Structure 1
Amino acid sequence: MAYAIVDDAMHIQFQNGDVYVYTPAATGRLHLKVMRQLARAGAGLSTYISRQIRDRYSLKYKREVLEESEDAAPAAAQAATVKRRKVAPSPSS
């Protein structure tokens, strides 16, 4: 698992290569705070996501599509790789 903290969001790449983007609007500020702490500690993040967060993410980048679009133009690659979700504010934000 790899992660990046970008502004107020987290980008997390799981073992299968898919990248999920977690934002305060989708996940909740408190959950993001806990996720950042777990990521920095190096333990428990995957378990926390599977038990507490589940499918409350903003975007999902599929590994297969990322690999196919590496040679594409940047705008086309971005358009091809993003699975957008409509996000309602989380009650814990």
Structure 2
Amino acid sequence: MKTYRNLSGTSNIKCYDITDDGIIVVFKSGSEPHYLYNHLSAGKPIVDQMKKLATQGRGLCTYISTTVKDRYAKKW
């Protein structure tokens, strides 16, 4: 897992892991903080944008809350 850089300083994202067809996002809070988003659940263009935002360290949490919403494949 890579630590999310959180350049805005306000993100609830702790870390992430990029896979070939998805991204795992770990939030700082919540009873099930791990979320897997993949091509089947969210679509390739959305997952690709999430990967881009994760590596940039800015905007991922906002993108998830405004665009991706509950299109995760699994949470734990």
TM-score bucket of the superposed structures, by smaller chain: 0.7 to 0.9
**How far did residue 8 of structure 1 move?**
1.0
Q: Does 1:4 align with 2:8?
A: no
Partners of 2:69 and 2:62 in 1: CA distance: 10
Q: Does 1:40 align with 2:55?
A: yes
Residues 37-76 of structure 1 correspond to what in structure 2 (within 5 A)?
A: 37-61=52-76
Choose between structure 1 and 2: higher strand proportion.
Answer: 2
In the TM superposition, structure 1's runs of 4+ consecutive aligned residues that sit over 2 Å from their partners are none
Structure 2 portions without partners, runs of 5+: 1-13
In structure 1, which of residues 5, 10, 16 is the aligned counterpart of residue 29 of structure 2? 16
Instruction: Give the structure-2-normalised TM-score.
Output: 0.76
**How far did residue 9 of structure 1 move?**
1.2
Q: Which has the larger Rg? A: 1
Instruction: Give the structure-1-normalised TM-score.
Output: 0.63
RMSD: 1.0
State the identity %.
38
Structure 1 portions without partners, runs of 5+: 62-93
Aligned length: 61
